[in-house]
Amino acid sequence: MNLREQIGDKLKAARESLNISIEEAAAAAGLDVNTVRALEEGDFSGFKNKVYGRAYLRDYANFLKAEAEPLIALYEKSLPKPEPEPETGNTPGEKTCLWVVIVLIAIILIITFLFRTPRKETPMPFEPKVEKPAPKPEPKPEPEVKPEVKVMTLTVTAKADVYYKLRTPENGEKAGLLKAGESVKTESPTKIYIKLSDPAKAALTLNGAAKSLATPEKVFLAENLFK
């Protein structure tokens, strides 16, 4: 078994431990089904470059709550190593020509230094000293009054097992499975984005007040934006 097949087996085992299908895992993690299937098969040939492969692997591993760094280390180890460039060296003839050029340049510099004409310095005309007026004191700037920044706090409490995804401009994105009775909280002074697999299975409170989320037509498509 090669290194990439080991990566796929570890991802598949982590998903099966959550008792979810590939389609459910892809939707919850925000990835394409074919991308998730390729990751679990250890097939990275369909990605544009190693940067995409590393990013997809990290996102999927974080969603499965698997350790991402050891998997990324295996992926890096599986990449083909670049071939070393052939060493180039100067031949004896090239070294001789180089020394000849250096000696000629040194001779030219010595001759130029010995036969150069000394430059006569012309005296600077006398300029009367003009006193500059004293600078006027600059007015002190008034202290800037910064507006009070109100921070929104959103709490998601699971009534039953439900998949969630939260994202804010300040803290980025986090997602996963929220079991019944568990809660997750996030804060932002600007906006909060939330996606739930089933809004009926979770209770939302924004700054201590209950907040409703419309039931979606399809699973994993419920979206709401609090500003």
Residue 94, both tokens: 């090239």
Q: How far is CA 214 from CA 15, 34, 45, 61, 223, in A?
A: 29, 29, 40, 30, 8
3-state secondary structure of 120: coil
pLDDT digits (tens, 9 = 90+) for 133-147: 777 777 777 777 666
Q: What's residue 128's pLDDT?
A: 60
- Alpha-carbon distance of 72 to 105, in angstroms, equals 55
pLDDT value at position 7? Answer: 87
Report d(CA 2, CA 193) in Å as an integer.
40
Give the whole-angstrom CA distance, residue 174 versus residue 44: 24
Q: How many CA atoms lie within 13 A of 166 on its CB side?
A: 23
**Tens of pLDDT, residues 119-175:** 655 555 556 666 777 777 777 777 776 667 688 998 999 999 998 898 999 888 989
Interacting residues of 61 by C-beta distance below 8 A, sequence separation 6+: 11, 14, 67, 68, 71
Q: How far apart are the first and last CA of the chain?
A: 50
Query: Would the pLDDT of 182 be above 90?
Result: yes
Could you tell me the two tokens for 194? 């939330």
Q: How much is the pLDDT for 209?
A: 92
Give the pLDDT score at 221.
42
For a pLDDT cut of 90, what percent of the chain falls above it?
Answer: 25
Confidence of residue 73 (pLDDT cuts 50, 70, 90): confident
At 220, the pLDDT band (50, 70, 90 cuts) reads: very low
- Reading phi first (left if > 0) and then psi (alpha if -120 to 50, else beta), residue 11 is in alpha
- What's the chain's average pLDDT? 81
Task: Give the pLDDT band (50/70/90) at residue 219.
Answer: very low
Query: If one looks up domain 3-78 in CATH, what number appears?
Result: 1.10.260.40
Q: Is the pTM of this model over 0.75?
A: no
